[in-house]
A = this chain, B = another copy of it.
Amino acid sequence: MSITIEECAQTVLTTIPSLMQAIRAEMRQGRMASLTVPQFRTLVLAEGAPGPSMSRVAEHVGLTLPSATALVDGLVERGLVVRQPHPSDRRCVQLALTEAGRREVREARQHTLAMLTERLAGLDEAERAGVVRALTVLRLALQTQEAVR
């Protein structure tokens, strides 16, 4: 029973939004985790990379620059990040997590991962490997083109 590209595309189109819904619901449900998915992703970026620029944020989260500005504004207002001047290029901004931001992202991740882990507990070894492999394949296939755009 061979699966055509069209069938595969169809599955992707119908399933990914559902999965996204589920993840969003998880995150919203966490009592203390008052972060939306894009906010969370921005904090994760700032946690890993040192002082990302606004452009970097926009690219990472998949937004336009103005959208990233609005997103970061919200995080700044809530005291989770600060905008720091870039030392050598004064047009650029370097985003930095505050202590509160560091705590928030840690808690949100812990919480969300715990919930996800619970739901994925039923998967066997082969299924887990399959999931990781398939998602990696999809990421490469769908993101490659974005760079081209």
> CA A148 – CA B126 in complex, angstroms?
26
- Which one, B10, B18, B44, B132, contacts A8 given CB within 8 A? B132
Give the oligomeric copy count: 2
User: What is the interface of chain A mostly: helix, strand, loop, or mixed?
Assistant: helix
Interface size on A, residues (CB 8 A): 60
Q: Mark A124-149, 1 if CB is under 8 A from B, else 0.
A: 01011111111111110111111001
Across the interface, which residues of B come within 8 angstroms of A117, CB to CB?
Answer: 5-6, 9
Q: Is A88 an interface residue (CB 8 A)?
A: no
> CA A16 – CA B19 in complex, angstroms?
7
Stretch at the interface among A21-29, A68-76, A78-86, A94-102: A21-29
Q: Is A91 an interface residue (CB 8 A)?
A: no
Q: List 25 A-B contacts (CB under 8 A).
A: A4-B128, A5-B128, A7-B132, A8-B128, A8-B131, A9-B116, A10-B113, A11-B135, A12-B23, A13-B23, A13-B112, A13-B113, A15-B136, A15-B139, A16-B19, A17-B23, A18-B139, A21-B61, A25-B149, A119-B141, A119-B142, A119-B144, A127-B134, A131-B137, A134-B135
